Amino acid sequence: MPEKVIPILPCQTLQPVLDFYTALGFEVTFQQKSPNPYACVERGDIELHFFGMKKYEPSESLSMAYVLTDDVDGLYESFRGGLKAAYGRIPSRGIPRIGPLKDMSYGVRQFLMTDPGGNGIRIGQKISEDQSHRPAPKETFAKALHNAALFLDSKEDPAGAARIIDRVLDLDGERPTAVQLVRLLVLRGDAALRTGDDRAAARALEQAAAVQLADEERESVRSEVERLRELMA
């Protein structure tokens, strides 16, 4: 039998975590309450284990696992549909949540989830054999978008992403295009929601919604507009 690695992730209580993964199409294959809370879930070849800790704080979790797939788009749509059916909406902020599907600058198409235990689950598919980071663009706002996206959806540092965006939008004598502005403001709103700054999030998202776009510009930011609607819901 080939070797297999199974992440064992913490949570405060098991049931909300198991309900979350059941909504994603996982099966609970094992569960015990004593001598310690422990459970296993499986979906195809994905297997995750969880243990309970009463004093554990999900919002402070640093636990992560990466799932490689050859159908990231299919899993994304399946997971979103399952979460909407279970929660009545697609959770895009707070804990739990599911983020947008993006092509990253290091040859991976991926999305991030955070389960009720605060565990970050990255689901990705290689789209290039070159897994090194592409150089950041030289143009001011394109560079800010590149770096802020990495901070938010790779490093998972929303405060760092917010600082990058605030700095570039405060520049004298330089202004982004309408498309760049929408992208920056949606990222800024997303970052603010992840840090619990609802006021800053509302301000950024309202500004993004107010940007005037031509039809071809709106088409080029279709995914950002969809994300904007989710974050404002």
Q: Which pLDDT tens digit goes with each residue over 156-202?
A: 899 999 999 999 999 998 999 999 999 999 999 999 998 889 999 99
Mean residue pLDDT of the chain comes to: 94
Q: Is residue 36, in this structure, part of any structural domain at all?
A: yes
**Domain of residue 42, residue span:** 8-126
Q: Are 192 and 162 in contact (CB under 8 A)?
A: yes
For residue 121, pLDDT beyond 90: yes
Q: Does 97 reside within a domain?
A: yes
Task: Based on the fold, state whether residues 48 and 95 are members of the same structural domain.
Answer: yes
* CATH number (domain holding residue 40): 3.10.180.10
Task: Give the model's pLDDT for residue 150.
Answer: 92
Q: Are residues 186 and 83 in the same domain?
A: no
Residue 47 pLDDT > 90, yes or no? Answer: yes
Query: Of the residues 64, 91, 126, which one is the last residue of a structural domain?
Result: 126
Closest CA to 109 of 147, 78, 67: 67
- 137-162 average pLDDT score: 93
Higher pLDDT, 105 or 16: 16
Does residue 104 sit in the same domain as residue 171?
no
Residue 168 sits in the same domain as residue 60: no
Judgement on whether residues 26 and 120 belong to the same structural domain of the protein: yes
Domain boundary among 80, 101, 126: 126
Q: Which residues pair with 179 in a beta bridge?
A: none
Residue 133 lies in a domain: no
Spell out the residues 6+ positions from residue 66 whose beta carbon is closer than 8 angstroms to its own: 121, 122, 123, 124
pLDDT exceeds 90 at position 39: yes
Q: Strand order in 46-52's β-sheet? A: 8-11, 46-52, 38-43, 27-32
At residue 15, the pLDDT reads: 96
Q: Is a pLDDT exceeding 90 seen at residue 138?
A: yes
pLDDT for the residue numbered 50: 98
> Which of 85, 102, 126 is the endpoint of a domain?
126
Task: Please tell me the predicted confidence (pLDDT) of residue 213.
Answer: 93
17 and 117 assigned to the same domain: yes
Within a domain: 132 = no
**What pLDDT is stored for residue 135 in this prediction?**
86
Please list, in sequence order, all residues whose beta carbon lies within 8 angstroms of the beta carbon of residue 74, skipping any fewer than 6 positions away: none
Which CA distances in Å does 135 have to 62, 161, 211? Answer: 27, 18, 29
Distances (CA, A) of 118 to 11, 144, 183: 7, 28, 27
Same domain, residue pair 115 and 184: no
What's the confidence (pLDDT) of residue 136? 87
User: pLDDT at position 10, please?
Assistant: 97
> How many domains does one find in the chain?
2
What is residue 233's predicted lDDT score, i.e. its pLDDT?
80
**Residue 1 domain flag:** no
